[in-house]
């Protein structure tokens, strides 16, 4: 089975972390989310991926190449300009000649494909949209369905009081290749605002099936952090790299702790991390590979990407540091999101 991964958005709401990175490459528990996603979909039977990218596509290509290392085939469909969620599908038409899957690559979930594929086959529509239920649907695509599961209306980001239900587009679709006939070429097209409404209007058969399980869009700093806390407290059962060195504290290879270091669970620490004397890490901290944390540091509710440095006596809470960010000694970071590789940052 082939899957087209939509990974070309600008990630505006996650800036500055996405200033030099496609959002789906942001790490979750120390690995790019896209890597978790590809491994999961591979286990669900997907063996060919088409990466629809535009914003820093080389970051994706450098990491995955042709996919061989992951036992899958990955091809790249680059857009000359951001072509939108349907434009990106149309742009990849040459790769998609049979039933295919489309996934918003910034959604954090581990969907079960078999029930969705069965549902799609049974209903015989041109498209099946995976749905999930949320309390406030106003920042998503909201659907209205009949008893058979057919979608009667698709409204993208309605005002809360105007949302027809709290069933939303989970950002995963199964399509028949005929869908290409409904998407104009060579311009930006939104699947949510243009293609789904058109398919519904023309009676092409758009169905929706609620897919249960953990689901979150990681597109804002608050949600991105929440995904991590859900991983740490095991509400989201993502594979942890590392072993449990004390209850709910995971650490990778070659981690060095100074004297009197206190690890307050839950905590995840990557490989080759050094932590100085009397430092307190946690609760809720994720430290990437090759990070260096000095002495007498306090780090809680924070996420450090690989190769970050926090010098002595600094305090971090509710903060996120991008790759190679350097915090000077004695600084206090509260609610800071910093992405300045190699530069010494002050709060
Ligand atoms: N290739 C490509 N080109 N990808 C794009 C483009 C583009 O021009 N624009 C957006 N994408 C990708 C993003 O990288 C992301 O993975 C996905 O398409 C969705 O775009 P977002 O910008 O994150 O949309 P959203 O989160 O506001 O809303 C979408 O996702 C919701 C679920 O989280 C919609 O599909 C909603 O209907 C849905 O409920
Ligand atoms: Mg999104």
Residue range 107-141, pLDDT digits in tens: 999 999 999 999 999 999 999 999 999 999 999 99
Domain boundary residue among 217, 235, 255? Answer: 217
Task: Measure the CA–CA gap between 11 and 24, rounded to whole angstroms.
Answer: 9
Q: How many DSSP H helices and E strands does the chain contain? A: 6, 30
Please indicate, yes or no, whether residues 313 and 180 belong to a single structural domain of this protein.
no
Indicate whether 236 belongs to any domain: no
Task: Measure the CA–CA gap between 299 and 218, rounded to whole angstroms.
Answer: 22
The pLDDT of residue 347 is above 60:
no
Closest-CA residue to 189 (of 37, 19, 1, 52): 52
User: Binning pLDDT at 50, 70 and 90, where does residue 303 land?
Assistant: very high
Consecutive H or E run containing 229: helix 221-232
Indicate whether 230 belongs to any domain: no
Domain extent at residue 324 = 247-346
Please indicate, yes or no, whether residues 20 and 108 belong to a single structural domain of this protein.
yes
Domain count along the chain: 2
What residues flank ligand 1, with Cβ below 6 Å?
Answer: 6-9, 23-24, 52-54, 79, 82-85, 88, 104-107, 140-141, 156, 168-169, 171, 192, 217, 219
Closest-CA residue to 104 (of 193, 169, 196, 195): 169
The three-point CA angle 11-16-17 to 5° equals: 70
CA–centroid distance, 246 to ligand 2, in Å, is 35
Please indicate, yes or no, whether residues 213 and 251 belong to a single structural domain of this protein.
no
Please indicate, yes or no, whether residues 185 and 256 belong to a single structural domain of this protein.
no
Token pair listed for 318: 């509710």
Indicate whether 31 belongs to any domain: yes
- Specify the 3-state DSSP secondary structure of 227: helix
Residue range 42-98, pLDDT digits in tens: 999 999 999 999 988 999 999 999 999 999 999 999 999 999 999 999 999 999 999
Indicate whether 237 belongs to any domain: no
User: Binning pLDDT at 50, 70 and 90, where does residue 8 land?
Assistant: confident
Token pair listed for 203: 């009676």
Please indicate, yes or no, whether residues 263 and 159 belong to a single structural domain of this protein.
no
Give the pairing type, strands 100-104 and 167-175.
antiparallel
Please indicate, yes or no, whether residues 188 and 264 belong to a single structural domain of this protein.
no
Indicate whether 117 belongs to any domain: yes
Q: Which ligand is nearest to the CA of 8?
A: 1
Given this model, what pLDDT does residue 20 score? 86
Given this model, what pLDDT does residue 247 score? 95
Pocket of ligand 1, candidates 102, 104, 165: which has the most ligand atoms within 8 Å of its Cβ, to mutate?
A: 104
CA–centroid distance, 22 to ligand 1, in Å, is 12
Q: Which atom of ligand 1 is nearest to the CA of 191?
A: 35
Contact 322, 341 (CB under 8 A): yes
Please indicate, yes or no, whether residues 58 and 10 belong to a single structural domain of this protein.
yes
The pLDDT of residue 252 is above 80:
yes
DSSP 345: P
Closest-CA residue to 49 (of 68, 27, 28): 68
Closest-CA residue to 56 (of 97, 14, 96, 98): 14
CATH of the domain at 186: 3.90.550.10
Please indicate, yes or no, whether residues 278 and 149 belong to a single structural domain of this protein.
no
């Amino acid at each position: 089975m082939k899957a087209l991964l939509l990974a070309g958005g600008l990630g505006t709401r996650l800036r500055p972390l996405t200033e030099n990175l496609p959002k789906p490459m942001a790490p979750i528990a120390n690995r790019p989310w896209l890597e978790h996603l590809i491994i999961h979909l591979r286990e669900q039977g997907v063996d060919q991926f088409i990466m629809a990218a535009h914003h820093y596509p080389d970051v994706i290509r450098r990491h995955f190449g042709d996919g061989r290392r992951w036992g899958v085939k990955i091809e790249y469909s680059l857009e000359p300009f951001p072509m939108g969620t349907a434009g990106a599908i149309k742009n990849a038409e040459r790769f998609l000649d049979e039933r295919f899957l489309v996934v918003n690559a910034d959604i954090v979930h581990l969907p079960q494909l078999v029930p969705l594929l069965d549902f799609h086959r049974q209903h015989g529509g041109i498209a099946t949209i995976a749905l999930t239920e949320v309390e406030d649907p106003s920042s998503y695509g909201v659907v209205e369905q009949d008893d058979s599961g057919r979608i009667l209306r698709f409204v993208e980001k309605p005002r809360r009081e105007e949302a027809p239900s709290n069933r939303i587009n989970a950002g995963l679709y199964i399509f028949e290749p005929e869908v290409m006939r409904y998407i104009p070429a060579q311009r930006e097209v939104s699947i949510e605002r243009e293609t789904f409404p058109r398919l519904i209007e023309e009676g092409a058969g758009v169905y929706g099936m609620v897919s249960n399980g953990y689901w979150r869009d990681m597109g804002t700093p608050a949600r991105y952090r929440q995904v991590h806390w859900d991983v740490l407290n095991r509400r989201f059962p993502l594979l942890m790299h590392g072993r449990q060195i004390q209850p709910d504290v995971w650490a990778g290879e070659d981690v060095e702790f100074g004297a009197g270091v206190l690890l307050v669970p839950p905590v995840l620490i990557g490989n080759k991390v050094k932590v100085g004397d009397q430092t307190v890490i946690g609760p809720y901290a994720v430290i990437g590979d090759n990070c260096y944390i000095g002495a007498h540091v306090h780090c809680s509710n924070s996420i450090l990407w690989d190769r970050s440095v926090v010098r002595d006596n600094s305090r971090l809470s509710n903060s996120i540091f991008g790759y190679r960010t350097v915090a000077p000694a004695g600084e206090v970071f509260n609610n800071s999101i910093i992405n300045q590789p190699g530069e010494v940052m002050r709060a």
